[in-house]
Structure 1
Amino acid sequence: MYKTPLEALQLSPEECLSRPLSIELWVNLGLCSLQLFVTLLVCVAYRCRWHLRLWFFYLCTWLRPIPSMKTKEANFKFDLFVSHNEKDAAWVKNVLLPELEVHSQPPFKVCLYSRNWLAGRNISESIVESLTLSRHTLLLVTNAFAKSQWCQFEMTMAQHRLIETDNDNVVLAVMEDIEPINLNPRLRLMMKRKVYLQWTDDEVGRRLFWKRLKQMLQSDGGSLVEAFPQRDELRSALA
């Protein structure tokens, strides 16, 4: 049948079915099927990304229990000091506080400048005292936070205390996409070196956010060497 004109070629259905498929055709079919499978897998993984992260969190928690607090015996008045910009005060009051103080058992003791600082007192002294009396420091990072001088001062003092105590007790929560122009060296270093929490509009993602936050607040911060292997890099950023 080689070089037979197409109009002169006549094959019965039995002859067509009896002819084996070429290797090239099988390879092409296999590659197309693999590509389709990978595409579907990526789409499903992206759509269910927060569910997958939550399941991964449960798996890690099961495999590695929460370590005990080495600083539990320390004289801390609060479980955490919340460093945030005034523009995010409504979220702190209406979302963060109810979750930590009402819906958590036992409830967390939260230090806020709006209710725990004495009126008329020096702001710098109040920041240092809040950091000293709190087991953890929660930085709510937004673009407003990154542009605020006082928020940057609080972050700097928290980092200095981190070096002094060799206890990585700073919890970083990124609440929105940060514009590159607002990423100063200190904040960029922390986001590069630390595993930070990420707020999202996804319901499952929010559940993961709260579970991870509470797990961090219930555990010891760990050593500075583990969080920042290049200690000189941290010191240079703080200079």
Structure 2
Amino acid sequence: MKTKLYVNSANLTAGITMKDAQSFESNNMALHACENTSLIVENRRKLADYLRIRLTDFVCANQTHSANFYRVEKDEKGRGSTDIEHAVADTDALYTFEPNILLAAFAADCVPVLLYNETKGLIGAVHSGWQGTVKEVTLKLFNHLKNEENCRPEDFHVHIGAALSQEKFEVDRDVYLKFKALGYADDFMYYKDSTGKYHIDSQLTVKRQCELAGIPSGHISIDRTCTFMNPDGFSYREDKRAGRHMGFIVRRA
């Protein structure tokens, strides 16, 4: 079970699964992008065993590149863990105050964002593809947590997971203009004359969104693994049939 752990303490584990030729479908974790759903469930079961929790502790969403977020309650354990039908619908950010629930975010080039607030006992997982980044899903979640859940931004820690690098994230002018309209992404973009393409650093754009929400820069880490260039990465840009990593976070009671 190939994983990268960003946090691994007695009461908190956060990380991301990686591509692994020794596992079913190379350790693909996504039921919405697979060849055999039963094998994906088995991969998830192995991850649960590795983390010493149960598969029925997982909560997954049907991601739609939205800016929608959802608070997961205790009785929702297991949603989307073994099937798509019961996953949280039309949602790209999950958070919970409940212990012993694993929150998942699936990505193959998109930016997974894992967050926790030990003071409040809150964890969260965000899927921020370029569309979600333009819609500011991470910033909107943090503003909600500050305004509606009475969280202090300085109490958060954020891990931005492996994603497509700026070198490989090349786009046309229409996408560039959407990022430029944010008003704070100019430093994270450049134009390449030889190809006529713009290159965007989506991870640093998400980091800036965290900072705009008041998260201290020192509380934000970035995994600079490029999902296209690294052999352990799933890349939709490289292969439209690619599997998905799972960014995950769980707080133990």
TM (normalized to structure 2)?
A: 0.33
Richer in helix (by share): 1
Higher relative contact order (CA 8 A, sep 6+): 2
TM (normalized to structure 1)?
A: 0.34
**In terms of Rg, which structure is larger?**
1
